[in-house]
Amino acid sequence: MCAGVVSGAYWAGGRAARAQCAAEIAELRIGRQLVNLELLGGVYEKSVNLGVRDIRRILRQEYTIAD
């Protein structure tokens, strides 16, 4: 009986630890995703605020067929 109680406590503790670890990993992933979105927002801010005509004009000015 005592071994059953110890085994049950060990099993329950393992499940609780696994759930806590999964929650921490999920929080880390969310944090990383937010950082990535902030970085991408800064990089693509100019292209998001420009119209298609402006982008075409910039590309024609910057690049030639030889490039």
pLDDT digits (tens, 9 = 90+) for 6-51: 888 889 999 999 999 999 999 999 999 998 888 877 666 666 666 6
- State pTM to two decimals: 0.51
**For tokens 């075409």, what's the residue?**
56
Question: For residue 24, what pLDDT is reported?
Answer: 95
Within 13 Å of residue 14, how many CA atoms lie on the same side as its CB?
A: 6
- Alpha helices of 1-67 — where are they, by DSSP H? 2-43, 45-49, 52-62
pLDDT band at 1 (very low <50, low <70, confident <90, very high): confident
